[in-house]
Amino acid sequence: MTFTLPRRRWLQGTLACGLGFVLPEARACEFFTTTLRVTHPWTRASRPGDSDAVVCMRFDEVTQADRLIHISTPVAAGALIQRANTSQVAANSRGDVPINFLISADQVTEFTETGVHLRLTGLRHPLEIARSYPLTLTFAIGGVVEADLSIDYEALPA
């Protein structure tokens, strides 16, 4: 017994396989400016009554040195950049002194929970796990990036 595949089915299968190689790969959680790529802005869920949230993300593919000069999101009153367990590195983006955080060319810069990070201040409501919220990052040269802030992990124990 011989099995023959109809010509139409063979063409459809070949086309479907070929499209996988031709179409660009999905780029979830990547946001681009003219000077760099912002990868996966995320934070932990917050508990009711929390006023701050630490935001982590990565800046790479930096073709020209740039500065992060403003951060805003509807879920917080302000933002600052600081080192873990120390004083702030850059001031509140809603207040007196603008943020001025250097992102060097040809280097990877990361905001991490244990190092330099972005801290949202004055949370307007608890951040819920598996949700995402708008996050606007403004760069001196690269311009404005409308990103999504993902809430990927549960809150740390009190």
Give the containing element (helix H, strand E) for 15.
helix 7-22
Could you give all domains of the chain from N- to C-terminal order, each with its CATH number? 30-153 (2.60.40.1890)
Confidence class for position 5, pLDDT limits 50, 70, 90: low
- Provide mean pLDDT across the span 20-29: 54
CA pseudo-torsion sign 41, 43, 49, 51: negative
Tokens of 3: 């099995």
38-86 per-position pLDDT tens digit: 999 999 999 999 999 999 999 999 999 999 999 999 999 999 999 887 6
Tokens of 70: 């403003």
Q: What is the pLDDT of residue 157?
A: 84
- pTM listed for this prediction: 0.77
Q: Does residue 24 carry a pLDDT above 50?
A: no
